[in-house]
Amino acid sequence: MAAVTVQTSPSLALIKYWGKETQGINIPATGSLAVGLHDLRTKTTVTADPSAECDSVSIGGTEQPLHHFSTVIDTLRERAHASGRTDADTPLAVESGNSFPTAAGIASSSSGFAALTIALDAWWALNLPAAELSRIARTGSGSAARSVFGGFTRFQAGSESAEALYSAEWWPELRILVAITDTGPKTVGSRDGMERTRSSSPYYDAWVADARVLIGKAERALADRSVERLGPLMRESYLRMVGSSIAASPPVLYWLPASVAVIRACDELRGEGLVAWETMDAGPQVKILSTARDVEAVRERIASVAGVKTILVSGVGGSPVVTRDNGDSGL
Ligand code: 2P0
């Protein structure tokens, strides 16, 4: 094969993963419920690089430290050896790019590690089951366990892999707006932010205990496609995550003044009867759950908030797409 290209989407948590039961291998302490952002894409291409001394990984044209990816690459390479691939040791060039800001709290690690895992599985023709791909992607980044699927996913506390709950067709009228307030990389990575929260926030244990209750209620709201019930649960999840993390020492605080202004604007929009339930992750961007009916009115209002630089709008879905180029020009 000449190249494998995989497209994936970031996984937006409606109910949040924040904290690890097991450090190093990303076993989550809190269960998460998420949806794939169909219109935001990560595109990753794998080719052979036989003259290179080792693998290389670039994102947006910038060479990355290989050790960030070695857990996933080494695991899949071992599988390639075990399945008798004679090309398992040939160095690979991995080129990845995002249609949205990288490492800025828009879950680029979820779509990135999912794309890498699926691309290497395809490259070495391993055909691993989805749960196994999810397990391997998780070792790169916890949220990547969910991006392997797309649609609506669940990643239970203490679990090694995520699972698909519903396809995008389950609730196709949902829309997600991403209000970008800062395009720079985040000040504290999720990994460090979670660990700091776990080790120093007096509210961490309460967050973990409460998250168990929240996810059960949210699963039922999703099963009933009730945005009236899911919205408030989403809000409780992100604000309780933030509550525990800003109480860490030193605090883990991602919000900017514009983030707060968007949160207030969402409250006003809801007061006017529009669907606009916000959530936030490890960054200053605000993501807003809305519907096809209301998305344009919500977009217009949020665009007028001072400090909002761009708004991305996405449908739900984001299932991975694999393209194999066998080097045949087709002529
Ligand atoms: C989530 N986040 O559920 C939560 C909510 C951010 C806030 O998963 O350490 O990059 O690689 O497992 O997956 C972002 O953290 O963390 C994240 P690691 P990850 O989407």
Instruction: Count the domains in the chain.
Output: 2
pLDDT above 50 (res 288): yes
Does residue 118 sit in the same domain as residue 231? no
Does residue 207 sit in the same domain as residue 236? yes
pLDDT above 80 (res 275): yes
Does residue 28 sit in the same domain as residue 144? yes
pLDDT at 198: 98
331: confidence class by pLDDT, cuts 50, 70, 90: very low
Does residue 137 sit in the same domain as residue 189? no
pLDDT above 80 (res 274): yes
Q: Which atom of ligand 1 is nearest to the CA of 12?
A: 20
Percent of the chain with pLDDT over 70: 98
pLDDT above 80 (res 330): no
- The position carrying tokens 């001072």 is 306
pLDDT above 80 (res 260): yes
pLDDT at 329: 52
Does residue 187 sit in the same domain as residue 264? yes
Does residue 224 sit in the same domain as residue 300? yes
CATH number at residue 21: 3.30.230.10
Reported as a single tens digit per residue, the pLDDT across 180-189 is 999 877 789 9
Q: Best substitution site from 98, 281, 285, 286 to test ligand 1's pocket, by max atoms within 8 Å of Cβ?
A: 281
> CA-CA distance, 14 to 108, in Å (whole number)?
16
Among candidate residues 127, 144, 166, the one where a domain is terminated: 166
Domain of residue 298, residue span: 170-314
pLDDT at 104: 65
pLDDT above 60 (res 280): yes
Q: Which two tokens stand for residue 109?
A: 């690690």
- The position carrying tokens 């529009």 is 274
Provide, for the chain, the percentages of residues in helix, strand and coil under a 3-state DSSP scheme, each rounded to the nearest 5.
40, 25, 40
Q: Is residue 185 part of a domain?
A: yes
Read off the pLDDT of each residue in 79-107 and give the average, rounded to a whole number: 91
Q: Is residue 328 part of a domain?
A: no
Q: Is residue 323 part of a domain?
A: no
The H or E element that residue 287 is part of is strand 286-291
Read off the pLDDT of each residue in 206-234 and give the average, rounded to a whole number: 98
> CA-CA distance, 117 to 69, in Å (whole number)?
10
Does residue 31 sit in the same domain as residue 104? yes
Q: Which atom of ligand 1 is nearest to the CA of 155?
A: 3
Does residue 143 sit in the same domain as residue 219? no
Does residue 156 sit in the same domain as residue 38? yes
CA angle 12, 13, 17 (to 5 degrees): 135
Reported as a single tens digit per residue, the pLDDT across 96-155 is 999 987 766 777 899 999 999 999 999 999 999 999 999 999 999 999 999 999 999 999
Does residue 233 sit in the same domain as residue 122? no
Q: Please provide residue 86's backbone torsions phi and psi, each rounded to the nearest 5 degrees.
A: -75, -15
The answer to whether the CB of 107 is under 6 A from ligand 1 is yes
71: confidence class by pLDDT, cuts 50, 70, 90: very high
Reported as a single tens digit per residue, the pLDDT across 34-49 is 999 999 999 999 999 9
Q: Is residue 325 part of a domain?
A: no
Q: Is residue 263 part of a domain?
A: yes
pLDDT at 107: 79
Does residue 299 sit in the same domain as residue 279? yes
Give residue 168 CA to ligand 1 midpoint distance, Å.
22
The answer to whether the CB of 13 is under 6 A from ligand 1 is yes
> CA-CA distance, 117 to 199, in Å (whole number)?
30
Does residue 48 sit in the same domain as residue 8? yes
Read off the pLDDT of each residue in 63-91 and give the average, rounded to a whole number: 97
> CA-CA distance, 305 to 230, in Å (whole number)?
25
Give residue 106 CA to ligand 1 midpoint distance, Å.
10
Q: Is residue 319 part of a domain?
A: no
CATH number at residue 203: 3.30.70.890
**Would strands 92-98 and 42-48 be described as parallel, antiparallel, or unpaired?**
antiparallel
Q: Best substitution site from 155, 190, 235 to test ligand 1's pocket, by max atoms within 8 Å of Cβ?
A: 190
Total Cβ atoms within 10 A of residue 165: 17
User: Across the strands, what pairs with 180?
Assistant: 310
pLDDT at 101: 77
The answer to whether the CB of 315 is under 6 A from ligand 1 is no
